[in-house]
Amino acid sequence: MTDHMTWRIKLRSGNAALPARVPSEILTGKPRFRNESMPDEIGLLLPTNDGPRHFIDTIASKPDQFDDAMVGLFMANPFLNIPHESPRLQKAGIKWITNLPSVGQQDEDFSLQLSDVGLDHDRELECLAQFRKTGFKIAAVVTDVIDAKAAAAIEPDMLIVLPRVAGFAAGFPSSRQRGAAAQAASDAAGQAGWSGLLLGLGETRELDHERQWPDTLDGLVCRPVAR
């Protein structure tokens, strides 16, 4: 399965309030175009992959091999057929779904253009809500306060705060930048009545230094690596 990536998940240790059954990783497609100057988090947003159906074909062909993984799908894709794909994912043992990659990661101007044609973050949330109705637990990827408030309305089990494309302009965003974004998203979702797990993007070397994680986070999602 070398054409796909994993994003390792680690929850904060010693917190009895955290649920026991959270996936150990997120499974997504891998960018066709890869360059050392372009992070995979950004490359995954380019329209150069085979789409969600091909990705789900791979998962469905190996039942129960990925039952400890959350599956990330590009849900702004108008060809994503949820009534057809949900049973296939469930048969493969998948229990968690997330909107990764997300159009919310795009720069604001481009996000507005996508919104004009209905391919926006709201569409992703509608798809997540449909997946929940079919029995999945859902994690909503958000980038800012507006996204977090909107996500709170569908009551996701988890929020994952990711930086926008612009946040990578000077390299991987600092812990301070990521912490501020996570806190803002947490506050906005909390004010909207949401309560659940809050995860943020981190690097593998940060996994063993929980004291340095932003206090608001319940865990980290590691940067993707090829499986």
Give the domain extent around 220. 4-226
pLDDT at 4: 83
State the 10-residue block means of pLDDT for the chain, 227 residues long: 82 72 90 70 68 84 85 88 94 94 75 57 94 96 94 96 87 91 96 94 92 92 89
pLDDT at 223: 94
Q: Would the CA dihedral through 28, 33, 35, 41 be positive or negative?
A: negative
pLDDT at 186: 96
What is the CB-side half-sphere exposure of residue 28 using CA atoms within 13 A? 27
Which CATH number fits the domain that encloses residue 124?
A: 3.20.20.70
Number of domains in the chain: 1
Q: Which stretch of DSSP H or E encloses residue 13? A: none
pLDDT at 1: 45
pLDDT at 171: 87
The neighbouring-strand residues paired with 200 are: 161, 220
